[in-house]
Amino acid sequence: MDYLKAFEAIVLQQLARVEKMKSDTDFINYQALDKIIIGVIGGDGIGPAITAHAHRVLAQLLADEVKSGKVQFKTIDGCTIENRAAAGKAIPDDVLAEIKKCNVLLKGPTTTPRKGDKWANVESANVAMRKELDLFANVRPVKVPELNIDWAFFRENTECLYALGSQGVNINDELAFDFRVITSPGTERIAKLAFEYAKANNKKRVTIVTKANVVKATDGKFLDICKQVGEEYPGIEVDDWYIDIMTAKLIDEKRRSQFEVFILPNLYGDILTDEAAELQGGVGTAGSANIGKRYAMFEAIHGSAPRMVEEGRDIYADPSSVIRAGAMLLSHIGYQEKADQLYSALEKCTVTEKKLSITGRPDGSTGAQIADYILAETGK
């Protein structure tokens, strides 16, 4: 293998991506569309079960819009690990074509093969979808009123280590390389989205998280550009923390309530938002938005939990993560009142009333019972 040519190909690929980002158009106006098409992707493991419950909740909330033809739901099959492995692609071509016919997506978790798995070494479907649809911003809110926590994480979605995760090189049995990429336009657009969110929501502090003291080229670029963007927002305080100490400060009772909005590269954002979700009740409670200028995808932040399926426990999987993602979807496409209604029902179900016990086992509630509770609340 010619390793220099392999690296050259990666560099040329990324330079072309930079030029494409520079020519991006403005964000789509969903309410100006004649029809908003919502694609529903079940995914793997517990994904089909929990996504079906979220679909049911959204269908009730958008019943009038569906009847009028303003909203259409489209079920997209084929994004399973079996189908992806058989096609040898993260997203089979026919599935990707169906996805691109939609405006927004509600997606269940998908399995990413690990080394040694029985599946082919295909790229993560999430990573591939983010790249194909240019979903550059992963937005994850975490709110725990009793702990005075109200955070919004803006994780860059298309760069860092994950973007080239399947393009690493084994030089020999003793040496391997993976590649990390950070670009100026990629960093600038996630930073602007975070600062615009802070401005629109009266947030006074934006925190940049890197390891720029050690990873000087890529994290250094990310930090510098985020700070430059921050200068355009004089009413917002900007500070920066290293990822290692930031993980500690999220559980520091004296400091954590001071944070509001975070900007992070991909890997650090993945790690930190899982930690943050644990304070909210676990990764099973957290939804996630993946935002681009033309498309958007909403999903749970947890995995596909194949063991639950193997043990026949998928009916007890907690759907509140994907339902929360559905609330974010409603907000994104312009139905904020319906989104607030759903958030309120979720908070009653999972935080304030807690009439249902969610254990993931027969001693707890089923996903259907949780969805029924939320449907009853939103129907009031």
- Residue 24's pLDDT is what? 78
Cβ(105)–Cβ(294) under 8 Å?
Answer: no
- Residue 352's pLDDT is what? 65
Cβ(269)–Cβ(153) under 8 Å?
Answer: yes
- Residue 59's pLDDT is what? 97
Which stretches within the chain are classed as H helix? 3-22, 47-61, 63-68, 81-87, 93-99, 125-132, 184-200, 218-230, 243-249, 266-280, 306-310, 320-332, 336-347, 367-378
Q: How far apart are CA 258 and CA 170, in angstroms?
A: 44
Residue ranges for the chain with pLDDT beneath 70: 1, 115-117, 119-120, 283-286, 351-353, 380
Could you give all domains of the chain from N- to C-terminal order, each with its CATH number?
3-143+153-190+263-378 (3.40.718.10)
- Residue 285's pLDDT is what? 64
- Residue 126's pLDDT is what? 85
- Residue 247's pLDDT is what? 96
Structure tokens at 251: 């559980």
- Residue 1's pLDDT is what? 65
Q: Which residue has the tokens 């802070």?
A: 198
- Residue 244's pLDDT is what? 96
Structural element, H or E, at residue 106 = strand 104-107
Could you say which DSSP state residue 232 is in? Answer: T
Q: Exposure of 327 by Cβ count < 10 A (0-12 exposed, 13-18 middle, 19+ buried)?
A: buried
Would you list the DSSP string of 212-229?
TTTSTTHHHHHHHHHHHH
Q: How far apart are CA 170 and CA 3, in angstroms?
A: 10
- Residue 43's pLDDT is what? 92
Structure tokens at 165: 């995760």
